[in-house]
């Protein structure tokens, strides 16, 4: 009987060592995958089109069965679990005097295994897609340097569209846009991005709706409007922000779920989804998103024409929403928000986006190219 127990324990130890070995091996496997997609042409496109596309739509719809965001519970629960494990490990090492080194070694090895799994899943569900072709390459849309006149004309086009759709949305007593049915907007956003597949077959369809985050106020304190969580394949959206920006943010995060990890691509896909939708709320949100970046570019190029644009083409409704947005974000101008912005900047730069947070504004090049080829 004693021999049988010893044999079982010996077998359990061998199995545990085997599991740990393969989990640790995920680290070099992850590094090899990163090297391949960053050095082999079209490797990331092949991965995205033939593997990620199907894995993401399956798990996105599975997580979509749950009406609330799983991501924030997984994130918070995971952090708490790791902290509890570390504290327990410290207590165990202190108590077991004769086996301190062994317990510490096993504890650290378990943490390395966990880190390996997290890093592997992050890359397969997100990181590798930073190296795929962007919207410009996939669509054939060509961006070129443009004159200030073309930038101004594009801003006028966006402002006119925003003015038109902005008059058809619900507003409060202060003239600020409100979304009366957030669930309906979620479905409209999902339908809008799914619908782009009819014109752009590289924008995958069949995905579920975005999720509002319960701790949205906390996201605002970190200067975050939305986040794609690669471990649950969910598009998570901050719903505490001014309502006019929410539909575009939903479409932005839904484009990340489809493998468009570069911010300028996600912004432009969001713009397309919103402006090609039949919803005034989405139209207005998408045009205001593009206009905010395009007008900033115009301000840098020609301040006089920037003020001319606002004076002649910005309606009272548009100005009310912009004032509400400025007032909202002003309350979060804290060292915490600045630190979060710097972390995001470093994250983007470490994932093949050399411009960091400035890459969000590079959507202007795509908007102008779209304006010149499709609209003008």
Which tens digits make up the pLDDT trace of 332-370? 986 755 554 555 555 455 555 444 434 345 889 999 999
Q: What is the pLDDT of residue 355?
A: 46
- The backbone torsions φ and ψ at residue 171, rounded to the nearest 5 degrees and listed phi first, read -140, 155
- What are the residue boundaries of the structural domains of the chain, listed by start? 2-131, 135-375
Task: Please give the DSSP secondary-structure letter assigned to residue 376.
Answer: -
**Half-sphere exposure at residue 192, Cβ-oriented, CA atoms within 13 angstroms:** 33
Nearest-angstrom CA–CA distance, 271 and 286? 5
CA 65 → CA 68, 168, 209, 230, distances in Å? 9, 32, 10, 17
CB 234 within 8 A of CB 77: no
> Residue 237: helix, strand or coil by DSSP?
strand
CB atoms closer than 10 angstroms to residue 74: 15
Buried b (16+ CB within 10 A) or exposed e, 20-41: beebeebbeebeebbeebeeee
277 token code pair:
């939708």
Q: What is the mean pLDDT of each run of 10 residues along the chain (376 residues)?
A: 54 71 92 95 96 97 95 94 92 80 86 94 96 94 86 94 96 96 97 96 96 95 95 97 97 97 94 96 97 91 93 96 95 67 53 44 87 77
Q: What is the pLDDT of residue 8?
A: 57
pLDDT in tens, 5-62: 455 556 556 676 788 888 999 999 999 999 999 999 999 999 999 999 999 999 999 9
Q: What is the pTM of this model?
A: 0.89
Q: Given CA atoms 135, 137, 138, 144 in this order, what sign does their dihedral have?
A: positive
Length of the chain in residues, anyone?
Answer: 376
């Amino acid at each position: 009987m004693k021999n049988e127990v010893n044999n079982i324990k010996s077998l359990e130890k061998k199995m545990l060592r085997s599991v740990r070995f393969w989990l640790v091996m995920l680290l070099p496997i992850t590094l090899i995958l990163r090297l391949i997609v960053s050095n082999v042409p079209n490797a990331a496109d092949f991965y995205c089109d033939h593997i990620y596309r199907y894995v993401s739509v399956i798990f996105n719809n599975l997580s979509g069965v749950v009406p609330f965001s799983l991501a924030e519970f997984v994130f918070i629960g995971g952090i708490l679990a790791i902290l509890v494990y570390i504290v327990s490990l410290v207590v165990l090492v202190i108590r077991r005097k004769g086996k301190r080194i062994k317990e510490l070694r096993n504890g650290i090895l378990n943490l390395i295994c966990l880190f390996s799994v997290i890093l592997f899943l992050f890359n397969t569900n997100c990181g590798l897609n930073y190296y795929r072709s962007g919207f410009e390459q996939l669509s054939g849309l060509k961006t070129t340097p443009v004159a200030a006149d073309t930038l101004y004309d594009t801003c006028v086009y966006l402002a006119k569209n925003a003015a038109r759709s902005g008059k058809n949305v619900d507003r409060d007593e202060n003239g600020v846009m409100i979304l009366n049915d957030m669930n309906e907007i979620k479905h409209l956003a999902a339908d809008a991005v799914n619908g782009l597949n009819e014109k752009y077959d590289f924008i995958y369809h069949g995905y579920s709706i975005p999720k509002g985050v319960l701790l949205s106020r906390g996201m605002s304190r970190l200067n975050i409007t939305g986040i794609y969580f690669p471990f649950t394949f969910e598009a998570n959206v901050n719903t505490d922000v001014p309502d006019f920006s929410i539909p575009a943010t939903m479409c932005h995060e839904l484009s990340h779920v489809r493998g468009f990890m570069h911010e300028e691509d996600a912004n432009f896909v969001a713009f397309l989804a919103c402006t090609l939708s039949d919803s005034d709320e989405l139209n207005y949100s998408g045009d205001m998103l593009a206009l905010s970046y395009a007008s900033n570019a115009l301000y840098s190029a020609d301040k006089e024409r920037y003020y001319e644009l606002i004076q002649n083409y910005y309606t009272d409704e548009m100005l009310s929403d912009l004032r509400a947005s400025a007032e909202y974000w002003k309350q979060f101008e804290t060292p915490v928000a600045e630190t979060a912005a710097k972390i995001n900047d470093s994250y983007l730069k470490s994932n093949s986006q050399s411009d960091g947070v400035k890459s969000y504004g590079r959507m202007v090049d795509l908007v102008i190219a779209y304006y010149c080829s499709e609209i003008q």
